[in-house]
């Protein structure tokens, strides 16, 4: 079974001079496919298009990219498809060659075996010492420069945790390693406000619903002491509750369970 396509052809590698490899000069999307369908595809495409417009990377035809994905996402099963769009090869060091075409890489991986358990039982989470810089023009994009997330993931693995929360260098909570966060304070459900991090597709879907009440506000480490619940959300894993944060036990709230049912009904 083919597991990777490069520019629409089966392949297991890219050229050594690919600019995504050399400089992180690339964007990517990680997309859940169920029975060859990707319910959140429009939001993934919009984010990829925003990123390509900002970075000046040529974006392929949407129909061509979706066809690549469906070649790797067979009917009757759930898989995760990663789309990477690099600036291709060529250029002189940091100076790209504007005449060279972009390169599209589409890969598939199996559905996580422990995802149902995480949704049901919740996650063990730590707060990472790794911080994100504020004020970047790349904030919100799913670009290929993920070294802070790699460092936070190393902390997470060393603590034998499932996820880690990351703050910016001004002390504001931003996100998890590979997901957005929703912090519950009693009747309030708050998206941490920061100009760092990724504009998540799963969070965008939830926030756009008229029957969901969310607000955005700055959240600090001290604020987390009064949190009544925390949700971790991304477009693949959906909504997972935090059951333990830095050793402190947290309840799974009725709101979380209701939103999980909503997600399952519309997107699984």
Considering the segment(s) 4-111 as one domain, its CATH architecture is 2-Layer Sandwich (3.30)
Q: Residue 2 has what pLDDT? A: 82
Residues of the chain where predicted confidence (pLDDT) is lower than 50: none
CATH 3.20.10.10 fits 116-267, yes or no: yes
The DSSP H or E segment spanning 10 is strand 9-10
Best CA proximity match to 190, nearest among 223, 154, 217 = 217
Give all strands (DSSP E) within 96-245, no chain letters.
103-110, 123-132, 163-168, 173-176, 180-185, 188-192, 215-217, 229-234, 238-245
Strands (E), 35-162: 78-86, 103-110, 123-132
Helix (H, G, I), strand (E, B) or coil at 68: helix
Q: In the prediction, which pLDDT does 77 show?
A: 92
Q: Which residues contact 178 (CB under 8 A, 6 or more apart)?
A: 149, 163, 234
CB 39 within 8 A of CB 73: no
What integer pLDDT is reported at residue 80 of this predicted model?
A: 98
pLDDT digits (tens, 9 = 90+) for 29-69: 999 999 999 999 999 999 999 999 999 999 999 999 999 99
Which pLDDT belongs to residue 194?
92
User: Which pLDDT score is estimated for 250?
Assistant: 97
Helix (H, G, I), strand (E, B) or coil at 26: strand
Domain boundaries, the chain: 4-111, 116-267
Q: Which residues contact 91 (CB under 8 A, 6 or more apart)?
A: 19, 97, 100
């Amino acid at each position: 079974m083919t597991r990777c396509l490069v520019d629409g052809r089966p392949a297991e590698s890219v050229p050594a001079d690919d600019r995504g490899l050399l400089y992180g000069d690339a964007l990517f999307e990680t997309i859940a496919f169920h029975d060859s369908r990707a319910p959140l595809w429009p939001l993934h495409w919009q984010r990829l298009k925003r990123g390509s417009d900002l970075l000046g990377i040529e974006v392929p035809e949407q129909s061509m990219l979706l066809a690549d994905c469906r070649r790797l996402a067979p009917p009757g099963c759930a898989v995760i498809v990663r789309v990477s769009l690099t600036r291709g090869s060529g250029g002189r060091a940091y100076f790209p060659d504007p005449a060279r075409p972009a390169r599209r890489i589409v890969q598939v991986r199996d559905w996580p075996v422990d995802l149902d358990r995480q949704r049901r039982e919740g996650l063990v989470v730590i707060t990472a010492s790794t911080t994100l810089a504020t004020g970047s023009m790349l904030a919100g994009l799913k670009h290929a420069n993920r070294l802070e997330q790699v460092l936070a993931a190393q902390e997470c693995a060393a603590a034998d945790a499932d996820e880690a929360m990351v703050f910016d260098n001004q002390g504001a909570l931003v996100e998890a390693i590979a997901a957005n966060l929703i912090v519950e304070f009693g009747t309030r459900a708050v998206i941490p406000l920061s100009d760092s991090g990724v504009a998540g597709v799963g969070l965008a879907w939830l926030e756009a619903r008229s029957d969901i009440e969310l607000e955005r506000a700055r959240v600090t480490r001290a604020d987390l002491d009064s949190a009544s619940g925390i949700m971790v959300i991304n477009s693949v894993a959906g909504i997972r509750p935090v059951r333990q944060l830095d050793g402190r036990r947290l309840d799974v709230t009725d709101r979380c369970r209701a939103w999980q049912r909503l997600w399952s009904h519309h997107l699984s």
